[in-house]
Structure 1
Amino acid sequence: MREQQAVASSRRPPASGEGPAAPSPSLRIVDTVALTVGIVLGAGIFKAPSLVAAQTGSGGSMLLAWLLGGVASLVGALCYAELASTWPHAGGEYHYLHRALGRGPAFLFAWARLTVIPTGSIALLAFVFGDYASQLVPLGPYSSAVYAAAVVVGLTAVNVAGLRQGTRTQNLLTGLEVLGVVALCIAGLLLAPAAPAAAVPVTAATPPATSWGLAMVFVLLTYGGWNEVAYLSAEVRGSRRSLAWALLASLGFVTALYLLVNVAYLRGLGHAGMEGSEAVAADLMARALGTGGVLAISVLIAISVLTSANATVLTGARTDYAFGRDSVLFNGLGKWHARANTPTRALLVQGAITLALVGLGAVTRQGFQTMVEYTAPVFWLFFLLTGVSLLVLRVREPDTPRPFRVPLYPLTPLVFVGLCAYVLYSSIAYTGPGALAGLAVLGTGGVLLAVEVARTRRTPRGSPRRVRHYPRLQRPKEVT
């Protein structure tokens, strides 16, 4: 009873200022759905389809790849739904890894979240925005990077202002984004003239085996981001089970929309036309509406990028906050601003690191490609470990109440782990030097982990900084 009272009192925010506040249930289910759809339904659907078409042999196989991507994402979502509904926490995967695999993997994941995964994703999206905005209003040789930096600063400021401002911005952008994608489908299915049948003979009966791996890397990159809802699990109103169904419904909706968009691309451009297109959405709109269609799609892509970037900014800082609550080296990140109901310090640090990555992209002059190479292998490595965590926690904590249980256990999480291993291999084989850079940054986390352990041992017993907020739980005692 005392423990329940202590937990309840810890969730009551102080009257004002930045103090020992904590996340509180303030997000509606509609906010959760908007965030999930907004993250997943990003700029990738306007860029990746031509890359997927180039790695598949026909329109049918291309659509199959997109369907498999949706199914794979749903399998992963089932695993995350059990974890998020059973252990709702601002740390998301950090919390699950800590419970299942211990301090080391959790520390490395939190370091990756701080330096590679969400920061690289935000920078990637900001560069896409900069590329299209520069076509409308160029700002010089570094125009794309200037726009990207402005996006990072602006969205960080919106979310520092408060959770309400961040979610309202997200809901508005998501609504505009969905309407725009539906308009793209209408243009391709009803307005654009049907593409003529391909007259080029097929040169190979089956594409190389590695092509499917590369195609799935692009497909799953486009579906990526649905796992971010785990970081909001402690802030969602209603029952824990409703969070799981909101996640599954969001992914089902996005999968159907992605398939519809690709059918529209196929009808308007044909498989060969998609394969040879540098901007597949712009080419389709040009066939349907002329020059005005190209301008319209540029605005749509800008909105889509802002939608995904804002959602990633909002959720990305949650892990940094949880990490700071459990770390000696990064203790300053573990502060929750009660009035704004947001991790202000974590947001500011995340913004600063993202700006540094924007600078790196500006130097290489290949911002989008650099960020894809930088983030993909690290992302899939920890996806794999999260699937392993579900299996471990089922064995270690069998009696823990689970509002949502993954169906067909253990087959479903085993399929998810196998999928993650396959895409991890494919991403390393494709990205090459960029992957090594991301893995090298992750490797520096091992050095920091050693320093963290050493400093924790030197911290006096009883000090608040020595408290481990997310301890590795022991097997429950049997009741006699």
Structure 2
Amino acid sequence: MPNLNEDYPAADATLASTQPEVSAEEKPKAEPRPALSMFDAIAVIVGVVVGAGIFRTPSLVAANVESGTMFLTTWVLGGLVSLIGALCYAELTTTFPHAGGDYHFLTRAFGKRLAFLFAWARMSVIQTGSIALLSFIIGDYMAQIYSIGELSSVIYAGLVVVLLTTINIVGVSFGTGVQRFLIILEVLGILIVLGAAFLFTPDEAVAAGNAGTGNGTSMGLAMVFVLLTFGGWNEAAYISAELKSGRRGMATALIASIAVITLIYLLINLAYLHVLGLEGMAASDAIAADLVRVTLGDTGMVLIGIIVTLAALTSANATILTGARTNYALGRDFPVFSFLGQWNTKASSPVNAYVVQGVVSLALVGLALFTRNGFETMVEYTAPVFWFFLLLVGIALFVLRRKEPERPRPFKVPLYPVLPLIFCLTSGYLFYSSLMYTGLGALVGIGVLVVGVLVLLAIPRIQKQKEQAA
């Protein structure tokens, strides 16, 4: 393999802290600065994770377990596995804080080539696919509340991408302010669901619900759905360089967020189990809507639509906020994409990276014009690529322990190497499962990643042509 520094002679922003002092004329461009409070960080993490998934996946989990006790146990296990992953990320983010997040860790562990493929995947598959997926959820519910034609869902989804991208382009303070507002509304909505379940459920409904028993036998498949619902806490890596409380604060934010998320999920699933029972949950295609119908009647259907929309908006906004940071890091390392590596000091955000991310997300939303299963297609499109790179990040922790043993580590994973190994095995299992249980969308996502390989191979030639032209 050729020398990476010869192939890609970019100034490596990820190693800026080790560079000697330079003159004013040679100083690097504007970079991220600490602008986020602890509450902002927790709001972003919780907002990314607690999205519309908790209103969809519990019925799939219920269909694959045998009892209510096993059902609740899967969610506790999901919280524990996520906590193990968060502890691994706490070491990485406190040791190597950077707006590039996973991209930065992969660069230091494996070099720029692999890191480029990750950044490409984030820009074209993982993050943009997640944004499109969440926008479809919002579009579907908005179309039920007020239809504007056959393409209502697609139009609403596109408007969501444009609106939230614009909000974050205005500046990190505005974007996180919107995130705080949305997370408060989301929590209020969840409290309404819990109140309806435990305060307004008819006695006969509780008796009927508790009588049900599950028929499922696939605990492994149930855990796949649970861990998919917990997915997204790793987005904290992309704001690690912007936290006011410093490196150690990121570990606190991650652990606190996982605790909050696990508690929320347990309470919501207790409510489902209390009202619908295991069989009722397993038979439901819209579990939250069925809960509200039993407790509040048909008048509650609009309410649940609003709650699910708020949850999806919260996740979409947080996903947009963190997603552009990888594009920014890509632009700093590869001159071909240098326009992405420009940081707007006034807005304290990577404006160009937001614009590109928004355009790609809109293109993926446009795929709904060719398929009637926008949500399902985006799940298949993103899952295998996401879990593949999450596995590599877990491996990177081992590599960086060996490559940079003298690096100060404000936080170390307890019980090393056992916990990081569990994290890697879990990610590997979910990568395998996402390939086995998905269809054409997964192949398209992998195909886009292959295109990234071709772009990577073409970069040296493109750079050489630019140098000759200059």
After TM superposition, the score normalised by the length of structure 2 is 0.91
1:37 and 2:49 matched: no
Equivalent in the alignment of 1:196: 208
Q: Structure 2 counterpart of 1:438, which letter?
A: G
Equivalent in the alignment of 1:304: 311
Query: Within 1, Cα distance between the matches of 2:329 and 2:433?
Result: 31
Equivalent in the alignment of 2:84: 75
Equivalent in the alignment of 2:357: 350
Query: Within 2, Cα distance between the matches of 1:346 and 1:227?
Result: 20
Q: Structure 1 counterpart of 2:136, which letter?
A: F
1:28 and 2:37 matched: yes
Give 1:156-305 correspondences, 5 Å limit.
Answer: 156-193=165-202, 194-196=206-208, 207=217, 211-305=218-312
Q: Could you give the per-residue CA deviations for residues 193-232 of structure 1, whole angstroms, max 9, x where no partner exists? A: 3141576787x6x61xxx3333222212211111111101
1:398 and 2:405 matched: yes
Q: Structure 2 counterpart of 1:157, which letter?
A: T
Query: Within 1, Cα distance between the matches of 2:195 and 2:256?
Result: 23
Q: Could you give the per-residue CA deviations for residues 368-387 of structure 1, whole angstroms, max 9, x where no partner exists? A: 10000000000000000000
* 8 Å CA contact 1:328, 1:455 repeated in 2: no
Of 104, 108, 114, which aligns to 1:95? Answer: 104
* 8 Å CA contact 1:77, 1:227 repeated in 2: yes
> Which one is further off, 343-352 or 444-453?
444-453
* 8 Å CA contact 1:214, 1:430 repeated in 2: no
Distance 1:253 1:3, change over 3 A: closer
Q: Structure 2 counterpart of 1:291, which letter?
A: D
Q: Structure 1 counterpart of 2:301, which letter?
A: V
Equivalent in the alignment of 2:429: 422
Distance 1:43 1:199, change over 3 A: closer
Equivalent in the alignment of 1:375: 382
Q: Structure 1 counterpart of 2:321, which letter?
A: L
Query: Within 1, Cα distance between the matches of 2:141 and 2:439?
Result: 27
Equivalent in the alignment of 2:331: 324
Q: Structure 1 counterpart of 2:399, which letter?
A: V
Following superposition, the deviation at residue 250 of structure 1 comes to 0.7
Equivalent in the alignment of 2:131: 122
Query: Within 2, Cα distance between the matches of 1:3 and 1:422?
Result: 37
Distance 1:338 1:394, change over 3 A: same
Q: Could you give the per-residue CA deviations for residues 421-440 of structure 1, whole angstroms, max 9, x where no partner exists? A: 11111111001322111111
Structure 1, gaps ≥5 residues long: 13-18, 464-480
Query: Within 2, Cα distance between the matches of 1:171 and 1:413?
Result: 32
Following superposition, the deviation at residue 142 of structure 1 comes to 1.0
- Please give the root-mean-square deviation of Cα atoms over the aligned residues, in Å: 2.3
Structure 2, gaps ≥5 residues long: 1-16
Following superposition, the deviation at residue 3 of structure 1 comes to 6.0
Following superposition, the deviation at residue 455 of structure 1 comes to 3.8
Equivalent in the alignment of 1:84: 93
Equivalent in the alignment of 1:384: 391
Equivalent in the alignment of 2:57: 48
